[in-house]
Amino acid sequence: MSMTITEKILAQHAGLEEVVPGQLITAKLDMVLANDVTAPVAVKEFVKFEVDSVFDRSKVALVLDHFTPNKDIASAEQSKQVREFARRHEIEHFYDVGKVGIEHCLLPEQGLTLPGDLIIGADSHTCTYGALGAFATGVGSTDLAAGLATGEAWFRVPESIKFVFHGTKFQPWVSGKDLILYVIGKIGVDGARYQAMEFTGEGISALSMDGRFTMCNMAIEAGAKNGIIAPDEKTFAYLEGRSKRPYTVYTSDPDAKYAQVFEFDVADIPLQVAFPHLPENTKSVQEASGVKIDQVVIGSCTNGRMEDLRMAAQILRGHKVHPHVRTLVFPGTQEIYRQAMHEGLIDTFIEAGVAVSTPTCGPCLGGHMGILAKGERALATTNRNFVGRMGHPESEVYLANPAVAAASAIRGQIAHPEEVV
């Protein structure tokens, strides 16, 4: 039977020769992930199983990235619970302040997520790892607790939607962020509900791994169960020196069945801006031009990688941010931070009047280090712009790629990079 890449991975992990959309399966897990917000709930449920230890301490990752360094007593208590659990069960992949990174930037960097893996995480953007050719999806903390105890999880096999990107002639400054925002604008925030979004075509092949991570990261913003891209030479080059165990490469069969197929030419996709209060509310940057902003955030699990920081620095070099715009940069990991420092990007940011932070999810979810007041507007390279996402319910968040964010920081309003370069 012909199958998609998603179906093949699920079948293999369920010990079956084939699976079909809608089928309920139990599958073995390669990695279980939680953070300082979701792990405490999972730990509480895990205790109820009355098991002596986690199923495999080498297949669990705990990352304190949302409210660390701890912003208040409540977050400190949450982090303490996770630290104690990690020590008690000798979790091999535990990341705390000083070596922490934003989890969905950190795990691929550390070689913990590989092609063909089946990964669950108590965080909706776990789908990021699909960029490596893995099946990765977010789950609730209770399901995560069961995964910690048993090394298994249940799934309903999703239908797959294929998104084919033709051509390699991107418009200037267009990135993976623009491609995924464009798609979400076309199909809506529930357009792929509980389905696999499979990205393919010459346009995807032309994207860097950083761009692919961005696209799969935001599959959940279309309601998808997972986003996925078949591994290629760029994938293998990224994994060289990172992967610490064997992996299996899966690809979709040529005659695999899809619920829908969408085709685009990358030459037709302009720079995108998602207006409040949904990622589907997209317009071209030209249509968004002139919207005044109070804050710019560059970073997050969506756009906090080296390519993103280089793009922002290229725009900011030789400029100062607008005096009325607070501009914040959040490198995705300590290693990205260090690489940016060696390349002189941190100097560029500071000279431009930008605040550079230790890796954290803080402002993305309205947690800390960048909260908006009533009536304020932010342009962010993050993934969500729901009501109150970054602070006050009467604030607004606009989403864009790092080049648009940097140009807008300089102009004090949403702007095309060509306005300042």
Find out whether 283 and 315 touch, Cβ atoms under 8 Å.
no
Domain end position, chosen among 240, 264, 288 = 264
Domain end position, chosen among 232, 264, 296 = 264
Q: 363-384: per-residue pLDDT in tens? A: 988 989 999 999 999 999 999 9
Average pLDDT over residues 94-114: 95
Residue 227 banded pLDDT, cuts 50, 70, 90: very high
| Cα separation, 97 vs 76, whole angstroms | 12
Residue for token pair 């990964």: 119
* Number of domains within the chain: 2
pLDDT at res. 330: 96
What are the tokens at 98? 């000083």
Say yes or no: 227 and 96 in one domain.
yes
CA dihedral 402, 407, 412, 415 (to 10 degrees): -100
What are the tokens at 245? 């165990």
pLDDT at res. 1: 86
pLDDT at res. 68: 84
Q: Burial, 9: exposed, middle or buried (Cβ in 10 Å; 0-12, 13-18, 19+)?
A: buried
Q: Burial, 74: exposed, middle or buried (Cβ in 10 Å; 0-12, 13-18, 19+)?
A: exposed
* pLDDT exceeds cutoff 90 at 412: yes
Say yes or no: 284 and 222 in one domain.
no
- Give the length of the chain: 421
Residue 214 banded pLDDT, cuts 50, 70, 90: very high
The parent domain of residue 180 ranges over: 5-264
Model pTM score: 0.94
Say yes or no: 249 and 306 in one domain.
no
Q: How many CB atoms lie within 10 A of CB 190?
A: 11
Domain end position, chosen among 247, 264, 281 = 264
CATH code for the domain of 62:
3.30.499.10
Residue 283 banded pLDDT, cuts 50, 70, 90: very high
| Cα separation, 416 vs 421, whole angstroms | 9
DSSP of 326-346, one letter per residue?
EEEEE-SBHHHHHHHHHTTHH
pLDDT at res. 175: 97
CA of 32: how far to CAs of 113, 126, 196, 289, in Å? 10, 10, 20, 42
Say yes or no: 255 and 404 in one domain.
no
